[in-house]
Amino acid sequence: MCNRVFSIALGTGLVVGVVVGVVTWLLVRTPVEEPPRLLDLDWWEHTVIYQIYPRSFKDSDGDGIGDLKGITSELEHLVDAGVGALWMSPVFKSPMKDFGYDISDFYDIHEEYGTMADFEELVAKAHSLGLKVILDYVPNHASIESHYFIKSEAREPGYENYFVWADPRPDPENPNNRLVPSNWISQFGGTVWEWSEKRQQFYLHQFAIEQADFNFREQAVKDEMVNIMTFWLEKGADGFRVDAIPHLFETEPDENGIYPDEPLSGNMFLNPDQPGYTTQVHVRDLKELYVVVYDWKTAIETWRWNNRTDAKVLLAEAYANIINTMLYYGDEKGRSGAHFPFNFDFITSLNANSNARDFAYIIKHWLTYMPKGNVANWVFGNHDQSRMPSRFRPNMVDGLNSLNMLLPGVAVTYQGEEIGMRDGFVSWEDTVDVAAINQGDETNYLDYSRDPCRTPYHWNNSTNAGFSTSEKTWLPVAEDYMEINLQAQKDADRSHFKVYQILTRLRKEPALSHGSYHVEALTANTLLLIRYLKGYDTYALVFNVGDEPDIALLNEVPFLKFPLTMVATSVHSPRVPGNIHTIDHIELDAGEAIVLKGPPT
Ligand code: NOJ
Ligand code: MG
C-alpha cells in the first residue's frame, strides 16, 4: 500500500516536473514582447508652452503694470501647473503704442518691466526650476523712436534704406498733390504710408503709424536681426516666438518708382480704410520671406552647436493659408525653418457653433498638411484673440484643455486658460488698444479691441485679484475674478486648474508623448481622440462639444479595449477620476469631457 502510494507520488512528481520543465523551456525560448523603446525627445518636442503677457501677469512694485520681478515671483506657479516653457510677449524698451510690439531698443529691457538684472534673475530662476524661457522677437518693424528709424529718417550713411521709403505717387492732374504711393491698408486700419516731413518721403508701416517696417531687402537689416537674436541667446534665451512674419516683405516699385495697388476685395461692408477692403497680394506671404526664416534657423542652430547648448527654438507667428503656413517648417529643397509655425486653426476655424465633425476635420487638416517628421502644435488663445471660454463656451474649458494636452506635439496655453479666464469688459474710456482706437468708436470698438483678453491675471479674490496693490491697474481687472481665480481653484476639490494639472502630468505617458492618434466624430457632437502605442496604456478623450446632452457608442471604436478607467473629467461632469466604464456607450452632458485610460492595444 505504502509502495503504491509512493509510486503514484513518484509518478505524479515526474509528470509535474516534466510539465514545469517544458513550460520553463517554452518561456525561455519564446521572447516576451517588450514594449518598444522610446526615442529620447528634445525638450521642445512635447512641452507645454505657457504664454505670459508681462503687462498683465503680476505687478511687483504696485504701479498697476505687470513686471519681470512679478513673473519671477510666480514661476513656481508654472511648475505647479506642469508647463515646460514660458514665452513672454515683448519685454524690450518701448513707447508702448502697441504694448511692446513697437520696440525702440532691441537690446534693453523696458523700464516699467524692470532692468537687465531682473531679466537675468528671471532666466536663472526659470532654468533652475527646469523651465525654458522663450522671448518674443519682433523683426518686421521698429518703433519710430528707435535709433534705426531716427538715423534712417535723417539719411545717415548705412541707415538710408533701413526702412521702406517711397516718394509720393505723381498726380497727373495736380503735380502739387501728395498722393500715397499705393492703396495698401495697415492691419490696424488706414493707409500703410506715413509722410515724414524731415525726409520728405513716405515710410511704410503695416501696423501702427509708430511701427515702421524694416526693409528686408537691405543686407544690413538682415545682419542686425541676427545680432539681436544672438544677443538674447547669449543672455540665456531658449528661443524666440517670431512676430508677424508674413509681413516681412512687400512688392517692390516698378522702374519708375511706382508701387502697384492691391486689387479690391469687393467687400461692400468695409470702407477703404479697413483691412479687408483690398485683397492683400503685395504686403503678405511674399516668397522671399521664407528664405529669411531658413537663414535665421541656420543662424541659431550654428550658435547652438558652437556653444554646445540645448536646442534653441524658432516659433513662427503667421496667420496664413495652410500651404504658406507649412512653408515655415521648411521647403522641398530640404531647407529647414521654424521648429513650428503656430497652429491657429482652433482660433480661426472653430467657435461655439462648431460641431464634432468640424473639430475632427480641423484637427486632421493640420496633421494632414504638416510635412513628415515635423512636430504639431495647438493654440487656443493669445493676447490678440478673444479668450478661449468666451469664443467657445465656458463649460468647454476642460474639454478644450484636454484636447490641447492630448493631441500630438506641443501644447500652447495663454495665461489664464488653465483656470478658465474669460474676456474682461473694458469700457471705451478704459480702452488702450491701438487696434480699437484706430478702427472703432464708442459703438463698435469691441469688434476690434484686444483689451478684453489682456486684462490682469486672477491670482486670488483680494484687491485687483492679487495682481497689483495699485489703486488703478493699466487695464481693469475682469469682474468675475471672485469666482474665477487660481487660489479658489487650488482650494476647491474640483477645478479647471486641477484638471489642467492632471492633464499636464498625463503627458508623460508614452502613448501621449510618442503614440499615434485617431480622431473621429462619434456623433455630430461627440468628438473622440485616441492616443495609442503598442505595449502601453491607451488614452481616449470623449468630448461633447454641443450645447445639449449626447449619447455616443464606444463599441466600434478602434484601439479602445475595456475596462476603461476615467483619469480626468470636466469640473461639471457627474463622473470623477477613478470611475470605471464598462458599458459600450457613454452619455455626456453639454460640454462634458472625459479622459479614459484603457489597456494597451
Ligand atoms: C502680432 C502681435 O501678436 C500683435 O499683438 C501685434 O500687434 C502685431 N503682431 C504687430 O507687432
Ligand atoms: Mg509694475
Instruction: Pick the atom of ligand 1 nearest to 102's CA.
Output: 11
Supply the pLDDT for residue 510.
98
Mutate-to-test residue for ligand 1 from 52, 98, 192, highest number of ligand atoms within 8 A of CB = 98
Output DSSP code: residue 62: S
- Does ligand 1 lie within 6 Å of residue 120's CB atom? no
Count of CB atoms situated within 10 Å of the CB of 507:
16
pLDDT band at 7 (very low <50, low <70, confident <90, very high): very low
Supply the pLDDT for residue 1.
39
Residue pair 142/214 in contact (Cβ under 8 Å)? The answer is yes
Share of the chain above pLDDT 70, in %: 95
Instruction: Pick the atom of ligand 1 nearest to 382's CA.
Output: 3
Q: Which cell numbers hold the place of 74?
A: 510666480
pLDDT band at 29 (very low <50, low <70, confident <90, very high): low
Q: What residues contact 369, with CB distance under 8 A and at least 6 apart?
A: 322, 323, 325, 326
* 397-448 residue pLDDT tens: 999 999 999 999 999 999 999 999 999 999 999 999 999 999 999 999 999 9
pLDDT reading at 24 higher than 70: no
pLDDT band at 63 (very low <50, low <70, confident <90, very high): very high
Supply the pLDDT for residue 31.
58
Share of the chain above pLDDT 90, in %: 93
- Spell out the domains of the chain, with CATH numbers in brackets: 141-213+251-282 (3.90.400.10), 511-598 (2.60.40.1180)
Supply the pLDDT for residue 5.
43
pLDDT reading at 28 higher than 90: no
Residue pair 451/445 in contact (Cβ under 8 Å)? The answer is no
State the average pLDDT over residues 90-115.
Answer: 98
Supply the pLDDT for residue 33.
73
pLDDT reading at 271 higher than 90: yes
Active site residue 243: yes
- Give dist(CA 424, CA 440) in Å, integer: 18
* 484-502 residue pLDDT tens: 999 999 999 999 999 999 9
* 452-473 residue pLDDT tens: 999 999 999 999 999 999 999 9
Count of CB atoms situated within 10 Å of the CB of 125:
16
Q: Which residue in 243, 398, 451, 592 is the catalytic one?
A: 243
pLDDT band at 32 (very low <50, low <70, confident <90, very high): low
- Does residue 600 have a cis bond before it (omega within 30 degrees)? no
Q: Which residue has a Cα nearest atom 2 of ligand 1?
A: 243
- Does ligand 1 lie within 6 Å of residue 433's CB atom? no
Residue pair 543/402 in contact (Cβ under 8 Å)? The answer is yes
pLDDT band at 596 (very low <50, low <70, confident <90, very high): very high
Supply the pLDDT for residue 556.
87
Residue pair 126/132 in contact (Cβ under 8 Å)? The answer is yes
pTM for this structure?
A: 0.94
